[in-house]
């Protein structure tokens, strides 16, 4: 998918979009969330399996609350569906008052799934009616677009959280059945693609479709010449690191990483396990033998960094990745839109003749970068409660670029900044190697 075509598409759907187009988008987005919880029971939707995860039901309620609060209540003057729901479904907006502690989202057996779905219905009716009647002012439309992108982020979070929950079950239940057969059993070869350095612009171009505040302002950065591998690191390559005792060699690790590894007793990526002597992986399709050609997933920053050091390379910076992607114009890598295509796992890079094409730049695995997540020069959070959306998390997290198989397609843009703490590994995160050319 070319950047050019994407931003054209964006303009169609977001920017110059007539309300009715927004209506279609709203319905499609809301429906897609529902389709993701379809394989789940009420119990699956209720439980919180670790502090950083939320129950699926909470995701359903929280995304709905976002529209209720910022559209139905603030813009349309409706009263709240239930006075207590703001307490239950506010995630982290201090400006909007007290709320259910994050660690206790799994205690909310009430309201039940049925009532949360009814709540969705009521809010959707109000929003859709307003869109049909073209009654939303510009500011509300902006909030609506933010809400849709917000809901899309939660779609990926929901899959991450469900995968974690299901991984805790000794029954090894799959989220979904019928995984496609292995496409290729050996990885395509890896090549280095070189990039000139220099001063360049990064960040979102104002007016060019929806972007989050953390992608702005557009600004200049200077990069030294560098090279990137043309594809992601595979399970097979990472397995070699494991077998070379990568998890036992302190010299390969950051100090904080070594401590994390020691405390949590990491010996392989999350969800890898040995079953009857065979190295396996728990996926959304259940537990099955590890496929060497697929991109490695569920690495922490520390593991990605240690692997890169072991490889004699390093992690890329976020701007190396951002500026490398547009140069790969013309690459319509099929791996984007995996989830839309009904595929719930990362796919291997297929062998191609053109070695200089950057592969898997979107839609397989998030790529850890060495960039600490911080504000761009001149960044200011927007006024009001939504100012808490991104800015206050800009500390001790690292940026991931690209996107995973579970990332909604229109989030697959080169300026998109995902971020996690360096010890997190329940997200769909892998890596691509980088190296400096002049060093």
Cβ closer to a copy of itself: 206 or 395? 395
How far apart are alpha carbons 144 and 272 in whole angstroms? 39
CB of 109: closest distance to a copy of itself in angstroms?
4
CB of 2: closest distance to a copy of itself in angstroms?
28
Cβ closer to a copy of itself: 57 or 154? 57
Type and span of the H or E element at 63: helix 56-67
- What residues form DSSP beta bridges with 273? 280
Provide the pairing of β-strand 192-195 with 226-229: antiparallel
Type and span of the H or E element at 10: helix 3-10
3-state secondary structure of 295: strand
Cβ closer to a copy of itself: 285 or 393? 393
DSSP character string of 120-156: HHHHHHHHHHHHHTT---HHHHHHHHHHHHHHHHHHH
CB of 93: closest distance to a copy of itself in angstroms?
10
- Scan for tokens 């590994």, then name that residue: 425
Are the C-beta atoms of residues 407 and 394 closer than 8 Å to each other? no
CB of 103: closest distance to a copy of itself in angstroms?
11
Cβ closer to a copy of itself: 35 or 41? 41
Of 106, 101, 92, 90, nearest to 50 (Cα)?
Answer: 106
CB of 387: closest distance to a copy of itself in angstroms?
8
Angle between helix 113-132 and 19-37 (nearest 10): 170
Cβ closer to a copy of itself: 70 or 405? 70
Are the C-beta atoms of residues 70 and 58 closer than 8 Å to each other? no
CB of 428: closest distance to a copy of itself in angstroms?
21
Cβ closer to a copy of itself: 155 or 369? 369
CB of 66: closest distance to a copy of itself in angstroms?
18
Cβ closer to a copy of itself: 27 or 435? 435
- Scan for tokens 């691509």, then name that residue: 432
Binding site for a copy of itself (CB under 8 A): 41-47, 49, 57, 84, 87-88, 92, 94-95, 100, 104, 106-113, 165, 168-171, 173, 199, 217, 219-224, 250-251, 253-258, 301-302, 370-372, 374-375, 377-380, 387-388, 392-396, 422, 436, 438-439
How far apart are alpha carbons 221 and 365 in whole angstroms? 25
DSSP class of 231: S
């Amino acid at each position: 998918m070319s950047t050019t075509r994407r931003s054209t598409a964006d303009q169609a759907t977001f920017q110059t979009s007539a309300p009715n187009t927004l209506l279609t988008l709203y319905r499609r987005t809301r429906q897609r969330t529902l389709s993701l919880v379809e394989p789940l029971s009420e119990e699956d939707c209720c439980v919180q399996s670790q502090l950083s995860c939320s129950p699926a039901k909470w995701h359903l309620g929280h995304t709905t609350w976002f529209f209720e609060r910022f559209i139905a209540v603030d813009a349309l003057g409706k009263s709240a569906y239930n006075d207590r729901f703001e307490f239950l479904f506010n995630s982290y907006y201090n400006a909007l008052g007290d709320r259910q502690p994050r660690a206790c989202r799994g205690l909310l057996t009430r309201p039940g799934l049925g009532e949360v779905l009814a709540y969705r219905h009521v809010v959707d009716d109000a929003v859709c009616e307003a869109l049909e009647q073209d009654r939303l002012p510009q500011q509300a439309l902006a909030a609506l677009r933010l809400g849709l992108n917000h809901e899309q982020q939660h779609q990926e979070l929901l899959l991450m959280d469900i995968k974690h929950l299901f991984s805790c079950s000794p029954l090894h239940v799959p989220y979904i059945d019928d995984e496609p057969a292995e496409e290729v059993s050996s990885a395509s070869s890896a090549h280095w693609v070189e990039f000139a350095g220099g001063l360049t612009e990064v960040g979102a171009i104002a007016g060019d479709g929806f972007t989050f505040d953390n992608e702005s302002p557009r600004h200049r950065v200077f990069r030294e010449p560098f090279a990137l591998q043309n594809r992601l690191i595979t399970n097979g390559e990472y397995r070699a690191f494991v077998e070379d005792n990568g998890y036992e060699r302190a010299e390969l690790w950051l100090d904080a990483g070594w401590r994390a590894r020691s405390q949590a007793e990491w010996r392989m990526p999350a969800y890898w396990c040995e079953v009857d002597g065979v190295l396996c992986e728990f996926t959304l399709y259940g537990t099955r033998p590890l496929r060497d050609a697929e991109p490695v997933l569920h690495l922490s920053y520390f593991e990605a960094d240690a692997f890169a050091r072991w490889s004699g390379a390093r992690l890329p910076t976020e701007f190396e990745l951002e500026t490398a992607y547009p140069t790969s114009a013309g690459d319509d890598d099929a791996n984007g839109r995996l989830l839309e295509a009904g595929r719930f796992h990362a796919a291997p890079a297929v062998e191609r003749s053109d070695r200089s094409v950057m592969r898997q730049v979107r839609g397989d695995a998030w790529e850890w970068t060495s960039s600490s997540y911080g504000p761009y020069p001149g960044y200011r959070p927007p006024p009001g409660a939504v100012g808490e959306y991104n800015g206050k998390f800009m500390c001790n997290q690292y940026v991931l670029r690209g996107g995973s198989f579970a990332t909604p397609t229109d989030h697959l843009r080169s300026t998109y900044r995902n971020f996690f703490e360096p010890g997190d590994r329940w997200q769909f995160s892998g890596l691509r190697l980088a190296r400096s050319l002049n060093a």
